[in-house]
Amino acid sequence: MFVLELGGADDDFAAAEARAAATDARVAAPGIGLASDVDRERFRGLAYAHRAGHHVATTDASVAAAADALREADVAREGTVAVRARNVRNTTDVDTQQAERDLGGVLVDVGFDVDLEEPDHELRALFADDSCFLAWLAAESVRDFGERKPTDRPFFQPGSMDPLLARALCNLARVQPGDVVLDPMCGTGGVLIEAGLLGARPVGTDAQQKMVEGARENLDAYAADFGVARADATRLPLRDGAADAVIFDAPYGRQSKIETHELADLVAGALAEARRVTDRCVLVADRDWRDAARDAGWSVTERFERRVHRSLTRYVLVLD
């Protein structure tokens, strides 16, 4: 079994994304998930799961209980070790420095040498709510999202999606290397950038020529093989089944000049076209488009509400 360290404020969302690398990932405690197995290479591309470790023991959330469990565990006695303890989301009153000292002492007693800089093994002691999860670090996700902030890209527009969420949407759509990933309302190309970095071939369309040109400029900085063209999302110039996955951020009513009923027609048409070209889709919007998705022939497999600020909640629908 593996212990997952989840990020963000929504553990259910983080666990759903993590299932791209750990098919049965589920929430076990605040900020903590469990999974029976982990694809280490795919784990590197996750946004809201930071680390995965081989499970050693689960105990009460006390240093003494964790030390006792570690003494009873069958642990290797070769190489160097470091212990990293966390009070996950400040849900306990555990002294993490004391935990690192005491657990490190247990490991020294069974034959390890301590190396805090470049250890051969790293024991994670995760205190969350009323439990402590001990695990040997096995995989970490690559935390380079800050290098791709929308404001740092060649082309920027207000409201551009941040790379962390864009990457998570790609993982919710189960994007894999070689997939053709279509964003029919691509804007500045944030989703397509993350799809390309996962090894997919990004394909985007947008109704505005300005966005098409800007998305090309952005993708040129991050992706080697991509296609972007001007097109109506309700009448895509693509053959049936042309994409492996469709991901798009629908226009927000307050940001769009489109009236509500016209916006509904746009989203409904885009969903119908997405259904024609693929059997995997993730939709993000400022309202719940479940009925429109079902009318277009989709099944809603997962639904999330992500509060951005007081006046904006994003709805994420995973469709198949």
pLDDT tens figures, 285-307: 999 999 999 999 999 999 999 98
Average pLDDT, the chain: 95
Residues 227, 200 share a domain: yes
Number of domains observed in the structure of the chain: 2
Residues 245, 314 share a domain: yes
Residue 260's pLDDT band, with cuts at 50, 70 and 90, is very low
The whole-number pLDDT of residue 75 equals: 84
Q: Can you tell me the distance from the alpha carbon of 209 to that of 190, in angstroms, rounded to the nearest whole number?
A: 16
Which domain range does residue 190 map to?
145-319
Nearest to 168 by CA among 279, 18, 53, 299: 18
Residues 135, 254 share a domain: no
Nearest to 270 by CA among 261, 259, 260, 281: 281
Taking residues 269-290, report their average pLDDT.
97
| 107, 140, 173 - which closes a domain | 140
Q: Can you tell me the distance from the alpha carbon of 298 to that of 290, in angstroms, rounded to the nearest whole number?
A: 9
pLDDT tens, residue by residue, 144-173: 999 999 999 999 999 899 999 999 999 999
**b/e per residue, 36-64, with b = 16+ CB within 10 A?**
eebeeebbebbbbbbbbbebbbbbebbbe
Residues 124, 204 share a domain: no
- Maximum distance among all Cα pairs of the chain, rounded to whole angstroms: 70
| 112, 140, 168 - which closes a domain | 140
pLDDT tens, residue by residue, 210-227: 999 999 999 999 988 999
Taking residues 31-57, report their average pLDDT.
98
Residues 202, 122 share a domain: no
Residue 51's pLDDT band, with cuts at 50, 70 and 90, is very high
DSSP 155: S
**Helix or strand run (H / E) with residue 224:** none
Q: Can you tell me the distance from the alpha carbon of 236 to that of 242, in angstroms, rounded to the nearest whole number?
A: 10
Residues 95, 35 share a domain: yes
Map tokens 């993730």 to a residue. Answer: 282
Residues 34, 158 share a domain: no
Q: Residue 156 sits in a domain of what CATH number?
A: 3.40.50.150
**What order do you get walking across the sheet with 26-29 strand by strand?**
26-29, 32-35, 2-6, 49-60, 131-140, 121-128, 80-87, 113-114
